[in-house]
């Protein structure tokens, strides 16, 4: 079983997609060790983590979320930018930050003192480089917030051993106005004690998710970390706000109304126009990566079937059945994009409305004597 776990782990972590380049090493080894960027955590992921995440995904356990947040402040570089972000995530000093040493930092004056300490590493007040990465580790509503905080603390300690960092929990139990889903803002200095800078890529972010899921399970929270491809969702969907704009615009077109003149991003406007043009031309939208997505899904289901057979040979019949059923589920999932789904939903009704508009209404005829006699 140990050898099979190693094979699954290597495939699970290093799986290549059209958006991600494979890495030479997988479990905890980091990206190319020859480049001048920070190697990842010395502590490798636990053996069997790949199979554990896949089985949790098959059981519909919640996905952990790890993302690098963008700062909206114009002054987002140098130590001033870091301090601005610290004030933001601490809600202007109201919430206590926790440092790598376990110290609690609360209030703007304490944040200023922490920044003075961090600045000794050579960070200028204003620079042309980002000096910190702002990471958000999140779980769905209903997850115990203390478990999320504990998992984030352990994640940071292992992943950023040689970096200065601070973090804070956001949850409705901590402060009025915070969201119901618990999440931790983790601010990590880009440069470590050896002067090596962090430079995470997509595959690295996935490893972070896998590690965070591992820490959440250690807190007794069932969860998983998988790619969309692992779940049969190879093509990324549209953002909810763009989807709503498209649906609202189509509805207004059907009703003969002039679409609302609302401010839209270039991407949103492009999506709206593409759907409307497709409906007018009666041509289903295409996606440039749909062929590759099908190939990816076929490869994934083939691997699941192989894993199922190997587990069965080793006597793990329950685990084998889980993977066999998961392969069947993923294989049956549609790869239609949301644009194609919207088109399919509205194409027939749109064609009917256009036909009704193009056909002139018949003039009502004057009732004849026979008509009067029939009505009588």
Q: With contact defined as beta carbons under 8 Å apart, do 200 and 68 qualify?
A: yes
Q: With contact defined as beta carbons under 8 Å apart, do 3 and 20 qualify?
A: no
Enter the tokens of residue 145: 């917030």
* Cα–Cα distance for residue pair 151/217, rounded to 1 Å: 9
Main-chain dihedrals φ then ψ at residue 297, nearest 5 degrees = -65, -40
User: What pLDDT was estimated at residue 4?
Assistant: 94
Output 109-118 pairs: Cβ under 8 A, ≥24 positions apart. Answer: 111/83, 111/86, 111/87, 112/83, 114/86, 114/166, 115/79, 115/82, 115/83, 115/86, 118/79, 118/82, 118/164, 118/189
User: What pLDDT was estimated at residue 264?
Assistant: 53
Nearest to 350 by CA among 257, 213, 268, 255: 255
Other C-beta atoms closer than 10 Å to the C-beta of 99 total 15
User: What pLDDT was estimated at residue 296?
Assistant: 86
Indicate whether 11 pLDDT > 70: yes
Mean pLDDT value across residues 54-63? 96
Indicate whether 79 pLDDT > 70: yes
User: What pLDDT was estimated at residue 20?
Assistant: 47
> Which CATH number applies to 32-45+61-227: 3.30.930, 3.30.70, 3.40.50, 3.30.750?
3.30.930
Nearest to 152 by CA among 226, 54, 221, 202: 221
Mean pLDDT value across residues 57-65? 96
Mean pLDDT value across residues 310-321? 95
* Cα–Cα distance for residue pair 143/216, rounded to 1 Å: 10
User: What pLDDT was estimated at residue 98?
Assistant: 98
DSSP string, 225-261: ---TGGGT--SPPPPHHHHHHHHHHHHHHHTTPPPP-
User: What pLDDT was estimated at residue 349?
Assistant: 59
Other C-beta atoms closer than 10 Å to the C-beta of 375 total 7
User: What pLDDT was estimated at residue 131?
Assistant: 87
More confident residue, 229 or 32: 229
* Cα–Cα distance for residue pair 303/309, rounded to 1 Å: 10
**Percentage of residues of the chain with pLDDT beyond 90:** 50
* Cα–Cα distance for residue pair 343/327, rounded to 1 Å: 28
User: What pLDDT was estimated at residue 370?
Assistant: 43
User: What pLDDT was estimated at residue 22?
Assistant: 43
Q: Where are the domains of the chain?
A: 32-45+61-227, 240-287+337-358, 290-331
Mean pLDDT value across residues 298-309? 95
Main-chain dihedrals φ then ψ at residue 88, nearest 5 degrees = -65, -50
Q: Which of 64-73, 74-83, 212-221, 319-328 has the lowest mean pLDDT?
A: 74-83
Indicate whether 300 pLDDT > 50: yes
What b/e readout covers 295-316, taking b as 16+ CB neighbours within 10 angstroms?
Answer: ebbeebbebbbebbebbeeeeb
Nearest to 208 by CA among 89, 374, 66, 54: 66
Q: With contact defined as beta carbons under 8 Å apart, do 167 and 152 qualify?
A: yes
Other C-beta atoms closer than 10 Å to the C-beta of 13 total 22
Enter the tokens of residue 199: 């430079």
Per-state percent for the chain, helix, strand, coil, to nearest 5: 50, 10, 45
User: What pLDDT was estimated at residue 246?
Assistant: 60
User: What pLDDT was estimated at residue 30?
Assistant: 39
pLDDT category at 318 given cuts 50, 70, 90 is: very high
Q: What is the pLDDT of residues 114-157, one digit of tens each?
A: 999 998 877 777 777 788 999 999 999 999 999 999 999 999 99
Q: In what order do the strands lie in the sheet with 97-99?
A: 65-68, 132-138, 183-189, 165-170, 97-99, 104-105
Indicate whether 358 pLDDT > 60: no
């Amino acid at each position: 079983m140990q050898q099979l776990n190693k094979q699954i782990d290597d495939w699970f972590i290093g799986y290549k997609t059209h958006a991600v380049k494979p890495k030479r090493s997988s479990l905890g080894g980091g990206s190319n060790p020859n480049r001048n960027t920070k190697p990842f955590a010395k502590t490798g992921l636990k053996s069997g983590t790949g199979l554990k995440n896949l089985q949790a995904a098959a059981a519909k356990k919640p996905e952990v979320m790890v993302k690098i947040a963008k700062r909206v402040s114009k002054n987002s570089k140098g130590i001033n930018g870091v301090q601005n972000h610290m004030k933001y995530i601490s809600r202007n000093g109201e919430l206590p930050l926790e440092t790598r040493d376990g110290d609690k930092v609360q209030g703007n004056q304490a944040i200023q003192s922490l920044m003075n300490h961090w600045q000794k590493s050579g960070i200028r007040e204003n620079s042309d480089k980002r000096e910190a990465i702002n990471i958000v580790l999140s779980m769905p509503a209903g997850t115990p917030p203390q478990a999320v905080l504990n998992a984030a603390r352990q994640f940071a300690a292992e992943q950023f051993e040689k970096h200065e960092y601070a973090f804070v929990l956001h949850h409705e139990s901590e402060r009025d106005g915070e969201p119901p889903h618990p999440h931790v803002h983790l601010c990590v200095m880009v440069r470590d004690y050896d002067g090596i800078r962090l430079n995470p890529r997509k595959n690295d972010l996935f490893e972070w998710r896998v590690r965070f899921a591992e820490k959440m399970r250690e807190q007794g929270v069932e969860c998983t970390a998988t790619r969309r491809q692992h779940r049969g969702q190879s093509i990324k969907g549209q953002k909810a706000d763009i989807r709503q704009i498209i649906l609202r615009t189509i509805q207004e077109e059907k009703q003969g109304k002039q679409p609302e003149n609302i401010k839209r991003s270039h991407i949103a406007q492009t999506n709206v126009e593409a759907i409307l043009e497709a409906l007018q031309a009666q041509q289903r939208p295409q996606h440039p990566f749909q062929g590759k997505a099908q190939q990816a899904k076929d490869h994934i289901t083939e691997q699941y079937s192989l894993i199922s057979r190997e587990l069965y040979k080793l006597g793990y019949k329950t685990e084998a059945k889980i993977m066999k059923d998961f392969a069947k589920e993923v294989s049956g999932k549609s790869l239609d994009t949301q644009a194609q789904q919207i088109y399919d939903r509205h194409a027939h009704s749109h064609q009917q409305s256009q036909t009704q508009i193009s056909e002139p209404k018949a003039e009502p005829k004057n009732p004849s004597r026979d008509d009067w006699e029939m009505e009588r």
